[in-house]
Amino acid sequence: MFDFVLLAISVIAGAVAAISGFGIGSLITPVLSLSVGTKLAVALVSIPHLIATAIRFLILRSHLDKKLLVGFGLMSAVGGVSGALLHAAFGTPALTLIFGLILVFSGFMGSTGFSERMKFRGAGAWIAGGVSGILGGMVGNQGGIRAAALLGFQVSKESFVATATAIGLVVDSSRIPVYLWADWGGITDHLNWVTLCTVGVVVGTLLGTKLLKRLNERAFKRIVSGLIFLLGAFMTYRGLFS
């Protein structure tokens, strides 16, 4: 039963990420952590996360916004490393609660259309990237916070997902060697779940990219905002009861 649930969640996670640019880690990690703990679950999920992200990028690479990647993406990566270091020193459930509330607010702004009034340009793009990276690194969920910040840029849905995916691919490539070194034994002991999750997210990614083409821009932004809101609500709950 657990394997069936894990496979189903993986398919859903892959589809969600193909539409919004995030969601694989947010959905699969809590399920796996029920059996192996959060630390090992993060390491296990990083492998299917990388594979699905790479496939998603190959499909959408022609829509990549290179200027946004260089400005926002570079600062997001740097901020992510800084945030991870801060998390190691100051990480507390209170931070998860605070940033959960931030995501709830961002999701609400996007769902109501208020986020469309925000426009990041020039230095604003670099600042938004750095801030979102720091926040994501501190709470361990860069994808959702990155997507919340990206809502402030006036780009097409394909460029939104392609750019978020490219940034995620850089982050994945840098963190997986660390996980392999630190948790090699745990990963090899659970290759069956790694394989199961990989199959699920690949299937979900292929389904999700087809659905992305059918969404209009307004529906896309509402869906992404709704997902950000739900992620924020989950983080708020986790912060309150950790």
* Pair 48, 197: CB distance under 8 Å: yes
Distance CA 15, CA 22 (A): 10
Phi and psi at residue 99, to the nearest 5°: -75, -25
Q: Which of 227, 193, 156 is nearest to 48 (CA)?
A: 193
Which tens digits make up the pLDDT trace of 140-164?
566 777 777 777 777 889 998 998 8
CA-based nearest residue to 108, from 229, 237, 236, 220 = 229
- Give residues with Cβ within 8 angstroms of 53, minimum separation 6: 17, 24, 165, 168, 169, 172
Instruction: Please give the Cα distance from 91 to 227 (Å, whole number).
Output: 24
How does the average pLDDT of the chain come out, rounded? 80
**Would you say 117 and 27 are in contact if contact means Cβ atoms under 8 Å apart?**
no
pLDDT at 26 over 70: yes
Six token digits for residue 29: 């990690």
Look at residue 231 in the predicted model and tell me its pLDDT.
82
The residue extents of the domains of the chain are 2-241
* Share above pLDDT 90 across residues of the chain, in percent, rounded to a whole number: 26
pTM: 0.79
Token pair listed for 221: 């932004």
Tell me what percent of the residues of the chain surpass a pLDDT of 70: 79
Q: What is the pLDDT of residue 196?
A: 96
